[in-house]
Amino acid sequence: MSAQPRLAPKRARAKNPQAAIDSYLNDVAARNPGEPEFLQAVQEVAEHVVPFALTRPEYQSLKVLERLAEPDRLISFRVTWQDDHGVTHINRGYRVQNNNAIGPYKGGIRFHPSVNASILKFLAFEQTFKNSLTSLPMGGGKGGANFDPKGRSESEIMRFCQAFMSELFRHIGPDTDVPAGDIGVGGREVGYMYGQYKKLTNRFEGVLTGKGMAFGGSLIRPEATGYGVVYMMQNMLEHMGQEVAGKTCVVSGSGNVATYCVEKLNELGGKVVTLSDSSGFIYDPHGIDAEKLAWVMDLKNVRRGRISEYADAFDAEFHEGKRPWGVMCDLAFPCATQNEIDTKDAKQLVRNGVLAVSEGANMPSTPDATHIMMEGGIRLAPSKAANAGGVAVSGLEMSQNSLRYNWTRDEVDQKLRAIMADIHEHCVTYGEPKAKSVNYLKGANVAGFVKVADAMVAQGLV
């Protein structure tokens, strides 16, 4: 008696996409309590990928989607280090190895006080789809620590990086897992971690990307994410018969991704009027030209100051504790952090008549904000497509390390442009090209999924 009613809903679920999505998300939620960012990332993908998977019986019988949402491995470890005053600190380090069906795990390392398992699982999950979209052989991973680099001296940063790598080194390798930078981890930190890896293993090999040029780095790697975000926008605009030149642009953040995004927008004739950090945003109606941008890069990378100082140095406004989405513009580029565009911001962007958004940060829009923007007619390139340029050039760095060879700046840039154009094409192919407006989110989700899923099926239940 009791088996009959339990079977009926199961059969119904198999045929009804929304029921299948709900069932999948409920299972993931039950297995991952207290991990809202991870659930949000899975939810964003499930909306498009679950209905697609229903059309392929092998994906269902081998539980490809379920396996994708369960990391291959989550390593958590203690990082102990001493500050300049001899005080001992303990942080928690992580590496999430999500999926290596199409290549070694690959993804950045984040140093930020907010880092926890949920945030890194969301990033590693996203990274799996993103890396697949680049067409390069890279699986998905992510790592980091709840360490706050703000206000730390050079030697404290070095000691922390060394302590972090003292455990991480045993879990990574050029054919196993190849980390890179992310929030709070740039060329300086990658250099210190590389030095420690080399010391511990006595091997000089391509185990990290984003390395300095003197020891195996690639030209264009620092610029790649920001440039790629703009190339994605360029491709979307061309598809609409438009161009970047003459457009007013709003950019958030003032770190690696934001600053190189501004550099490329300036080069293409766009006018960027905002930048931000966690204390607020600056509005410069005259535009952040090359000279002002060089000043910002020095402020952020050398003097390690706050964006508010820009308003004092130039004729600009500083809006404390605010985000820049209310500023009138044609194009928007969220390049700071996750969930920085909420529903209120999204409605404002729609009201302001914004044409398109290219997401530089990972998952910068909440799910509701994403829907509001897309339904409001904004073309939206989701982060897993728009910011894939960084990991793509990391993949090219790995190739150059294996070849023991360096490509020129032009060669790397040409490859980056080609990869971003391909990603745009994949999004159009899978993102309802016959509809009035391309659904880039659906396109990126499904295109990124297919390659990984097919590899998982081919490799059996491992």
Measured from the CB of residue 339, what is the shortest distance to ligand NDP in angstroms?
Answer: 9
Binding of ligand NDP at residue 208 (CB under 6 A)?
Answer: no
Query: Scanning the structure block, which residue is given the tokens 């091997």?
Result: 203
The one segment of 19-27, 64-72, 153-161, 253-261 that binds ligand NDP by CB under 6 A: 253-261
Binding of ligand NDP at residue 256 (CB under 6 A)?
Answer: yes
- Quote the longest CA-to-CA distance of the chain: 77
Residue from the set 131, 162, 362, 370 that interacts with ligand NDP by CB under 6 A:
362
Going by C-alpha positions, the residue among 290, 306, 294, 355 that lies closest to residue 329 is 355
Residue from the set 387, 400, 439, 445 that interacts with ligand NDP by CB under 6 A:
387
Yes or no: say if 117 and 35 are a contact pair by the CB < 8 Å rule.
yes
Residue with the CB atom nearest ligand NDP in the bound state: 255
Binding of ligand NDP at residue 132 (CB under 6 A)?
Answer: no
Provide the token pair at 357.
């958004």
Provide the token pair at 195.
């030095």
Binding of ligand NDP at residue 257 (CB under 6 A)?
Answer: yes
- Residues 218-237: x/- map of binding to ligand NDP (CB under 6 A)? -------x------------
Binding of ligand NDP at residue 329 (CB under 6 A)?
Answer: no
Residues 6+ apart with CB under 8 A from 182: 107, 108, 109, 110, 123, 142, 144
Going by C-alpha positions, the residue among 416, 369, 439, 418 that lies closest to residue 226 is 416
Measured from the CB of residue 425, what is the shortest distance to ligand NDP in angstroms?
Answer: 20
Measured from the CB of residue 2, what is the shortest distance to ligand NDP in angstroms?
Answer: 48
Q: Which of 106, 121, 142, 271 is catalytic?
A: 142
Residues 6+ apart with CB under 8 A from 218: 209, 393, 394, 396, 397, 400, 406, 407, 412
Other Cβ atoms within 10 Å of 458 Cβ, number: 9
Binding of ligand NDP at residue 41 (CB under 6 A)?
Answer: no
- Residues 275-314: x/- map of binding to ligand NDP (CB under 6 A)? --xxx-----------------------------------
Angle formed at CA 345 by CA 364 and CA 433, multiple of 5 degrees: 65
- Residues 153-182: x/- map of binding to ligand NDP (CB under 6 A)? ----------------------------xx
Give the residue with the Cβ less far from ligand NDP, 316 or 456.
Answer: 316
Binding of ligand NDP at residue 254 (CB under 6 A)?
Answer: yes
Give the residue with the Cβ less far from ligand NDP, 128 or 242.
Answer: 128
Q: At what angle do helices 440-459 and 409-430 cross, to 10 degrees?
A: 100
Binding of ligand NDP at residue 183 (CB under 6 A)?
Answer: yes
Judge whether 271 counts as a catalytic residue.
no
DSSP 197-263: HHHHH------SSS--GGGT--TTHHHHHHHHHHHHHHHHHHHTT--STT-EEEE---SHHHHHHHH
Give helix then strand counts, H and E, for the chain: 18, 13
In angstroms, the CA 164 to CA 144 distance is: 9
Give the residue with the Cβ less far from ligand NDP, 168 or 224.
Answer: 224
The one segment of 159-167, 232-240, 252-260, 262-270 that binds ligand NDP by CB under 6 A: 252-260
Give the residue with the Cβ less far from ligand NDP, 42 or 190.
Answer: 190
Q: Which residues pair with 74 in a beta bridge?
A: 96
Measured from the CB of residue 225, what is the shortest distance to ligand NDP in angstroms?
Answer: 4
Yes or no: say if 178 and 206 are a contact pair by the CB < 8 Å rule.
yes
Binding of ligand NDP at residue 189 (CB under 6 A)?
Answer: no
In angstroms, the CA 355 to CA 430 distance is: 21
- Active-site amino acid positions: 142
Residues near ligand NDP (CB under 6 A) are 181-184, 225, 253-258, 277-279, 335-337, 360-362, 387, 390
